[in-house]
Each structure stands twice: as C-alpha cells, then as structure tokens.
C-alpha cells in the first residue's frame, strides 16, 4: 500500500476501514499505517479487523505488530479508541477490531 511516490491526498479522508487486510502472506504490512495516518484527517478514524485465526501468524511474520501500533500512539500520531474481539466475525471465527483516531 505504501508506495515510493506519495500522492497528494493529505488529510483527505474521514475514515479508512480495512477488513481482513492483514493475513499471513498478505502484501499489506503494518508499515501501511504511516500512509493511512497521512491521508486521514485529524480527528478521523482508522478501523481494521483481523480474522482471529490469523492473529498469531500476523505477529510472527511482522504483518501486524503490537509494537508498531503502540509506537504510533507514543509518537502522538493516533490514539486507540477501542480494541475488542467480535464473535462470529466470519462464520464462527472471532475478529479482533481495532479503532484508532488520528491526532
């Protein structure tokens, strides 16, 4: 998702939603958050859901690292609004929902 050429969509979107974007072997990695933060307006939201069956594999492969999410909080780029498991996200599999607000 992050390209070498940045587009001019700075502070453009109110909300960005990613559903099942983070899976083992996927091309979307957690370095995409820098770009998402850049294009979402301050006060806007970045929401993503991770299939519960993929959580361990994502962390191990560096696709979605808790440390990266926390670094953006520590750097004052966003704050976490919610993090919760949703039952039956996909059939009988739970999904981990993350909601961040861009600062």
pLDDT at residue number 62: 74
The SS3 call for residue 83 is strand
Beta 40-51 vs 13-19: how paired, if at all? Answer: parallel
Cα separations (Å) of 70 from 14, 74, 89, 102? 22, 6, 24, 13
Low-confidence ranges of the chain (pLDDT < 50): 1-2
The rounded percent of the chain whose pLDDT value lies above 90 is 58
pLDDT at residue number 1: 46
- Enter the pTM of the model: 0.87
């Amino acid at each position: 998702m992050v390209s070498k050429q940045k587009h001019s969509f700075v502070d453009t979107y109110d909300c960005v939603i990613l559903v099942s974007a983070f899976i083992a072997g996927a091309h979307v990695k957690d370095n995409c958050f820098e770009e998402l933060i850049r294009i979402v307006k301050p006060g806007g939201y970045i929401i993503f859901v991770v299939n519960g069956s993929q959580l361990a594999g994502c962390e191990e492969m560096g696709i979605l690292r808790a440390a990266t999410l926390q670094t953006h909080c520590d750097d004052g780029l966003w704050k976490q609004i919610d993090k919760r498991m949703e039952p039956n996200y996909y059939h009988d599999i739970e999904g981990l929902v993350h909601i961040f607000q861009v600062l």
